[in-house]
Chains A and B, each alone.
Chain A
Amino acid sequence: MSENTVAPISRKDLAALQLPVLEASTLPPDCYHSQAAYDAEVKHIFTKEWNCVGRVEDIPNPGDYFTKDIITEPVLVARDGDGVIRAMLNVCRHRGCKVVENAGTVKNFKCPYHGWLYALNGELRGAPEFKETVGFDKSTFGLKPVRCEIWEGFIFVNLDPEATSLADRFSEVSKFGFEAYEVGTHINIHRWRFELKCNWKTYVENYIEAYHVPWVHAETLGATAASLKKVIYHPDITEQQWDLILTPGPSMTLHPSHVPQFRQAEKVKQLPDKYRGLPVWAGYPGFAVIPMLDCTLWHTILPLGPDTMEIVVGIAFPPETGKAYLEGDEKVRELCDAYARNQEKIMGEDNDICERQQLGLKAQRAAPGRFCKHEILAWKFDNWVAKMAYDDQPQGGGAVQPARAAALNAR
């Protein structure tokens, strides 16, 4: 590696990215499709940071479980008999077989290879024919625990035992009115999963700027697009790994009529004007939640390779609505499905544009671009990625150059 290169980005490109947002250049296109960039991001970001893997209502009862691969690491998330949700590595401690697949309800986890039996909390409960194995202690051969925390009904896992707790990471969110939306009580009723032919960063950058909205979502979000110039970005409100982008004004619903069809959280009406509107809360690397008047939209993103990614999108409703939906209330189902269809159109627009961007980024002569004022969070995010994964400086989770961001806001 040359002295002028900080794999997988040159020092020159890194320096250009680190300039103040209106002077900075974007990440070089290589970072969106090179194996080196991908490997660095997996090593320094996705195996070190908190990744959202689902909602608590996905596993409502003791014995319910689901599996999720965090890149190469198979993870198992289960609700134990005492109601506690835990995560563990989905790898048998005997000879490494993947223990379970998909999702379901069980009393124990049984490895299909030699029948090792694990409790819902991962303790090894049955190791047949091991009585004679010298020094074998079942208590030391449970499934490897994976850190797991619940935040507002979302289940997060972290493969790094030393990582800062998620609760600490999100501790300041309440200052900005998030809790008013009662997201933690909502019940998810629709979920979509897409494998897209684009780098994961393209999608994250997409949902932390409103610059694209008037063009990409002209048909679906026309009214919102008109207020683009009012959008407020909050790059400096926290040293933690999340950001807030807010379109001020009356809060939004996903119903095509733009009129909420379900109960609205009372506390939202009491929010100060500066926090009322359409907030997008982005938790890095791949989580976003968009609380609305009568529903919650959320995204989780994981890379599948240098130029492929998975996005899971969910829509959740207040508990009485979610319950009625799940119980088959025809009227509620019809209304909720209208929300979902509207969201499908919006998602389709974002999915298409990100895949289209990827095609351009792979061009041999593609070069770094520039940021406008509406892309300050994209600039901040790109700097965070570079700092975490590419830079040879000490790793850290703090905001990148908050002083520069503050200077920008003062302009």
Chain B
Amino acid sequence: MTALAVIDVCGYVLPAAELLYERAVGPLRGHWPELGDRLALTLPTPGIGDWNSCYTRFVSNADIGLAADGSPATPSPLPMPVAQRRDFLEARILHDNARGRLRALEALGIDMQVLHPASGLDTLTDLGTAAGALLFNAYNSYVTGYCEKGLKQLKAVLQLHPLATEWAGSELGWWGAHPAVAGVTVHLPASVPADSAELAEVCETVAKAGLTLFHRAGSSAASWTPPAFLSFLRSQKLPDRYPDLTVALVGWPEEKLAEWAPDLWQWPTGTGRVLAAVGSPHSLPGRENAALWASNFPFDAPDLAERIEAIRKTGFGTAGAERILANRMPASSAVSPPVSVAFSA
């Protein structure tokens, strides 16, 4: 019996802000000190950890307090998220140790992993449009570079700002055809209205490029539930105009997916589909063939080895996930570098 491929559509990276700085274009680097209030120092995680010395990471507005003099006060050093405590896990796989991640994935038996940004980066839409777009650009540069260490195993999801319409086009032109790219997440903060023309334009740019839209809980405000987002896409007639548009729901609680089920699967006939990342295909009764597997690696998943073994024997939900994750954007569509924007944090 041939072993089935184990494809994980939900792994995480969490680059230190310094890496984003290094990857950023000039305007963002020049204005970096203006982002100081949004950065918190991290504590190194002793033993098996992700960062073995102090770095900085972005924090959300909600985490920023006020000092006695009324100035913004970022939190005291934050502990880093602790990855699974497994002997084979190397330090900094969340950050810059892509080869260490590849070794870990091989040891675990994961053949392909799609990478999303862990908490911290999700809040960048709190910043002004230009600053947010520039930071997502830096992340996109970072994550594609990270995945270049193992293009067969590591897949990147580009991050786009929902209001930076011109930027979205040039960003996809620059990174979209990269062989590591498996799709795009458009961040959806609460400030983006349900009828946003800018969001519609950004989503259409993604659909036109033929890239899968990853609608991820961590990058969406509470109001932007999967039903709300899918309803928005339908209202814009994007599934009708782009029949191969696929939306992957990632990071949403399985009980909520069941609750929302009536609104999730209404999608025009075409090659495009709505899929959901879950721990078990049985989480989507009657829709097992719409299930993608999510490991959340390297964060805690106590029964990970058993689950991987089971997937290798019996498969998992959606057949041909590789094809869904394949980048269908033609390389020739790569355009000029991202447009310049006026910085405002």
Contacts and interface: CB of A to CB of B under 8 A. Distances in A.
Choose among A81, A82, A107, A127 the residue with the greatest number of B CB atoms under 10 Å from its CB.
A107
B124 to A, nearest CB: 16
Choose among B21, B24, B39 the residue with the greatest number of A CB atoms under 10 Å from its CB.
B21
Contacts of B332: none
Interface residues on A, range: 10 to 19
Contacts of B24: 128
Interface string B72-102: 0010110000000000000000000000000
A81 B54 contact: yes
Nearest to A84: B54
B41 interface: yes
Interface stretch (A4-12, A23-31, A116-124, A256-264): A116-124
Nearest to A115: B29
Contacts of A125: 16, 18-19, 21-22, 55
B56 A121 contact: no
A127 to B, nearest CB: 7
Contacts, number: 60
B150 interface: no
A94 to B, nearest CB: 13
Given A81-B41, A81-B77, A82-B77, A107 B22 contact: no
B70 interface: no
B33 A110 contact: yes
B36 interface: yes
B41 A123 contact: no
Nearest to B23: A128
B36 A106 contact: yes
A110 B19 CA distance: 13
Contacts of B44: 81-82
B266 interface: no
A108 B21 CA distance: 11
Contact of A117 (B18, B36, B53): B18
18 contacts: A62-B76, A80-B54, A81-B41, A81-B43, A81-B44, A82-B44, A82-B54, A106-B36, A107-B39, A107-B74, A115-B30, A115-B32, A117-B22, A120-B54, A125-B18, A126-B21, A128-B21, A128-B22
Query: Which 9 interchain pairs have the tightest Cβ spacing?
Result: A81-B54, A125-B18, A81-B41, A126-B22, A81-B77, A126-B21, A107-B56, A107-B39, A126-B18
Interface of A: 62-63, 80-82, 106-108, 110, 115, 117, 119-121, 123, 125-128
